[in-house]
Chains A and B, each alone.
Chain A
Amino acid sequence: MSQLAIILARVLQAIPTIFGIVVVTFLLTRALPGDPAAYFAGASATPESIAEIRARLGLDQPLPLQFVDYVRDLASGDLGQSISTGQPVATELLRRLPASLELTLFALLLSVGVAVPLGVLAAVRQDSWIDQLCRFVVTAGVSLPTFFTGLLLVYVFYFLLGWAPAPLGRLDMLHIPPPQVTGFLVIDGLIAREWGTAWSAFKQLLLPGITLALFTLAPIARMTRAAMLQALASEYLRTARAAGLSSGRVLMVYAFRNAMLPVVTTLGMVFSFTLGANVLVEKVFAWPGIGSFAIEALVVSDYAAVQGFVLSMAVLFVLLNLAIDTLYTLIDPRVRIEG
């Protein structure tokens, strides 16, 4: 099967998944305790005004009807209105998603840049000091919660040393955001040639990025080390050594490329769970991402916002898996056949 056909098949396979997610999130949000009408009406509302608001939000309708309305809106690209901010959910998500993506991508770039070489070295020099270091970093990475490392970094680098800017969002007060192209402030700043803005955005990104990177480092380094060890013990590596290939070539072309296969899979998993789970980091650094948006929406039973969040995460997840699968077919020729 051609690569294109595999990718197409993957997209088709995603449709039932996304529909299932639509149904489940709809039902789950309805099953949650809390009444959005009561929240929206405020503390001094009378039962009549609550009922009126409920009718306005369409919440007095039977569930199947609500669902049909919801799906019809979805089909026309309308994710509904957030009752807590009063904005359309789609606008809200589009504004906040780039912030989360920028943070997550930066953190992953950092952690891959550190974890992969660390894992490779730990495997090549098994039981050496670098292997011990790898073990230490991995253990620390999984056992220290992100809000703790985040606070610690803020304390040391902002409060004590004063190297880092105040942990207050994506850009300090002195700069205005550059015109939006990608939604990533650093890149947009560079595109607009506003060097100061880009630099300031980068400085804001650094601490939360490192916090998240420390957390995602662990699974990637672990998997790299394990996959490298397996590749190093393989029979094809023995053949390569017996053919006298230089150790650099044996390591990079023969061992590393094979070891990358499970690492790419892990990377996909890590990416998707960080994107949804970096709420704590966003809270600590006042980062206006979708994680904190979703939590706030959930607390007040803001149905449309929660549904919109879950749905957009699902679509992102599908796209991400597609990217991973495509990457996989490029690295591993065997996948092309199995389809």
Chain B
Amino acid sequence: MSPQLTGHLHNPPLLAVHDLCVEFATRKGTVTAVRSVNLQVAKGETLGIVGESGSGKSVTSYAVMRILDRAGRIAAGKIEFGGMQLHDADEAMMSDLRGREISMIFQNPRAALNPIRPVGKQIEDVLIRHAQATHDQAKRKAIEALAKVRIRDPEARYHAYPFELSGGMCQRVVIAIALACKPQLLIADEPTTGLDVTTQRAVMELVRELTRSEGMSTLLITHDLGLAGEYCDRIIVMEKGGVVEQQDTAKLFAAPAHPYTRRLIRSTPHAARNIRDLLPEDLRLPPPPLLSVSDEPLLEVKDLVKEYAPPGGLLQRLRGRGGAKPFRAVDGISFSIARGESVGLVGESGCGKSTTSAMVMRLLDATSGSICFKGGELTAVPAGEFARSPLRRELQMVFQDPHESLNPRSTAAQSIADPLLRLEGMSDAAAIRDRVEALASQVGLPLELLDRLPHQLSGGQKARVGIARAIATRPELLILDEPTAALDVSVQAVVLNLLADLKAEFGMSYLFVSHDLEVVRLLCDRVIVMRAGRIVEEGPAARVLSEPQAEYTRELLAAIPRPAHLAGHAAATRAVNA
């Protein structure tokens, strides 16, 4: 953000890591997770470490905190922090420093808090440990800390348990714990992964404001280049345990030196003009052929409603407290999907987008409303019996987590063959194998991987298996529920392109459920924006994302981290491409 801070680097840095190597003892022998990493964080500076999974970015930060798990150890190198040697410091010294001088915030904030201890008590624990408060003042100080991270009604929230708070609120509590003792360095390890964009923005702004006002340094670890670009002064790019590039943010985006950095920047959807831009430069494919969208609707949803009974047990119902209103997850929405069209269903968590897709897929029964597919009424068939309906073949789904959605005991080939056996009634083993191999090559899955089990496949390969399984019966409508949310950006780029190609090849329609507006922009013709069970805006993707009409859509778009540098880079690529 502010390159003027680089001048401070002449002073001794707050944190200096020299030639750090971290090894893990595994059953298959020693694995080097971090190799000769050098980095420095100046006082008041925000340094970003960007990389994909397995790049060693989190391990580096755990090594700095000396909280590697039992199997990990610092094999070589030095870690200096404010003149102290951390790499060989004893546990007593480290535990004094942690939380007081160096703090950390984590991914998945709800799991990062003790589930059975009130959040206020958890803040008190830190204050008392580092002698920032006595037992008498601890409560007052903990409430102050909660107020500082802008938690409304901090006195009441002091007694709350993590499960009673939203993800964003939990992350604020984690930040309050981390900043309670005003440390000099804050390490943020994927602090906003899994949070909604608007929550992400609020959390990041809060971190930036609090660290700046205290003159703290920050180490931001993220897979999201856009996020790092917006909030960091300098960025380190890591790949496979090593640093590939280290640069001021503006320079990194303007002139990425390392091919891996270039690939990473390309795969970030913010900058891409079309879906092919996400792929590495050397992989020039022709743009996917435009599919003529017919006027004939394939799916028509009218006044769809899903209600859930209000919380409360048997006893409350017996006492006749049934007066509470049922919760409407989906509140009377209508939309249609034409043949060959792909529609993006966008919104934040809890907006009802997944419930909607589950009702269309007939995994859930609708409370009221109609779902008309190919002229047939789907709601007439109860969800439990839909598996036997002839329409079932025409409707398939790709799930969010490519790993969890595959049977761990089935090989890739068995998973892909499953719909052929159950929905098409195929029984000839040789014929099935032929179809499975044809499908595998269509989704770009090497045939020799077909006999592997899910845990022997990479994330991208598992995603391909999930897609091959979904298209096995040549469905007309494919429901994609955040199919790339769990994947690294470079893998996401490939999978999105595969989906675009498959759609063109088979003339399928897509209902693409996502929280990522940028991905929707690249893949979808039309966008539906949902909030609190209702549709707030609907229209052609290009129009909705460039000239949003609804206030909420504008908010969503504004919340996406979009560093100026990245936009500049996009403009540059556009100029080159033109």
Contacts and interface: CB of A to CB of B under 8 A. Distances in A.
Interface in B309-366: 311-316
A334 B129 CA distance: 27
Interface string B275-305: 0000000000000000000000000000000
B129 A235 contact: no
Interface string A320-335: 0000000000011110
Given A244-B96, A246-B95, A239 B177 contact: yes
A184 to B, nearest CB: 33
A6 B313 CA distance: 9
Nearest to B98: A244
Contacts of B311: 337
B269 interface: no
Nearest to B319: A5
Interface in B103-157: 103-104, 106, 108, 111-117, 125-126, 129-130
Contacts of B65: 242
A1 B125 CA distance: 29
B104 A242 contact: yes
A126 to B, nearest CB: 7
A38 B534 CA distance: 77
B312 A1 contact: yes
24 contacts: A5-B315, A235-B111, A236-B113, A236-B115, A238-B106, A239-B106, A239-B112, A240-B114, A242-B65, A243-B98, A244-B126, A244-B130, A246-B129, A247-B95, A249-B125, A253-B117, A254-B114, A257-B117, A258-B114, A258-B115, A261-B116, A331-B116, A332-B116, A333-B161
B39 interface: no
Contacts of A236: 111-115
Contacts of B104: 239, 242
Interface in A240-274: 240-247, 249, 253-254, 257-258, 261
Interface of B: 65, 67, 69-70, 91, 94-100, 103-104, 106, 108, 111-117, 125-126, 129-130, 161, 163-164, 174, 177-178, 311-316
B191 to A, nearest CB: 12
Contacts of A337: 163-164, 311
Interface of A: 1, 5-6, 8-9, 12, 126, 233-236, 238-247, 249, 253-254, 257-258, 261, 331-334, 337, 339
A1 B313 contact: yes
A23 B106 CA distance: 56
Closest 4 CB pairs of A and B: A244-B99, A244-B98, A339-B313, A243-B99
A290 to B, nearest CB: 33
Given A235-B111, A236-B115, A333-B116, A242 B163 contact: no
Contacts of B129: 243-246, 249
B98 A241 contact: yes
A147 B149 CA distance: 62
Given A235-B112, A244-B96, 18 more contacts: A1-B316, A234-B111, A235-B108, A235-B111, A236-B111, A236-B113, A238-B112, A242-B178, A243-B126, A244-B98, A244-B99, A245-B129, A246-B129, A258-B114, A331-B116, A332-B116, A337-B163, A337-B311
A245 B125 CA distance: 7
B106 A235 contact: yes
A239 B97 CA distance: 14
A9 B126 contact: no
Nearest to B316: A1
A332 B67 CA distance: 28
A332 B115 CA distance: 8
Nearest to A331: B116
Contacts of B313: 1, 5-6, 9, 339
A9 B130 CA distance: 45
B500 to A, nearest CB: 37
B181 to A, nearest CB: 8
Given A126-B70, A249-B129, A257 B116 contact: yes
Contacts of A339: 312-313, 315
A331 to B, nearest CB: 7
Contacts of B98: 241-244
Nearest to A257: B116
A249 B129 CA distance: 9
Nearest to B67: A241
Contacts of B106: 235, 238-239, 242
B161 A239 contact: no
Contacts of A240: 114, 125
Contact of A334 (B94, B111, B130, B163): B163
A245 B108 CA distance: 20
Nearest to B91: A247
Given A235-B111, A333-B161, A242 B116 contact: no
Nearest to B96: A244
B34 to A, nearest CB: 18
Nearest to B118: A333
B126 A245 contact: yes
